[in-house]
Amino acid sequence: MRPFSYNTAAELFPAAIRKKKRAGFAYRRFGTAAEAVRFAIEELPADSLNGAYLQVEEARFDQSGIRSLYESEAFPLPRRPRPAASTDDKADAA
């Protein structure tokens, strides 16, 4: 198996959201797999990511595969910072 290239064009197919009358995110093509992975994790609503898949050349990645690509040390783009726990939460625990 070839190593994964984040610089390859990619297609993202979000899952359809059946609960909503209006369509959510539709198929989208990206210039690089890195952009597609970041969009899927940071921008797609959770219900669209669940059931979505990413197509990069002949390889397909489901939700857990997309998340693994995002969390990989090889991921080339900056990630959105995770929210820090507030000091109020720490005070409540004491």
Q: Is 90 exceeded by the pLDDT of residue 69?
A: yes
Q: Is 60 exceeded by the pLDDT of residue 94?
A: no
- Work out the average pLDDT over 43-70: 92
- Work out the average pLDDT over 45-71: 92
Global confidence as pTM: 0.77
Q: And the tokens for 32? A: 């690089």
**pLDDT of amino acid 36:** 96
**pLDDT of amino acid 57:** 92
Dihedral sign for Cα 28, 48, 23, 79, please.
negative
What is the chain written as a DSSP string?
-PPP-TTS-EEEEPPP-SS-SS-----EEESSHHHHHHHHHHTS-HHHHTT-EEEETTEEE-HHHHHHHHHSTT--SPPPPPPPPPHHHHHHH-
Ordered by start, the domain boundaries in the chain are: 10-93
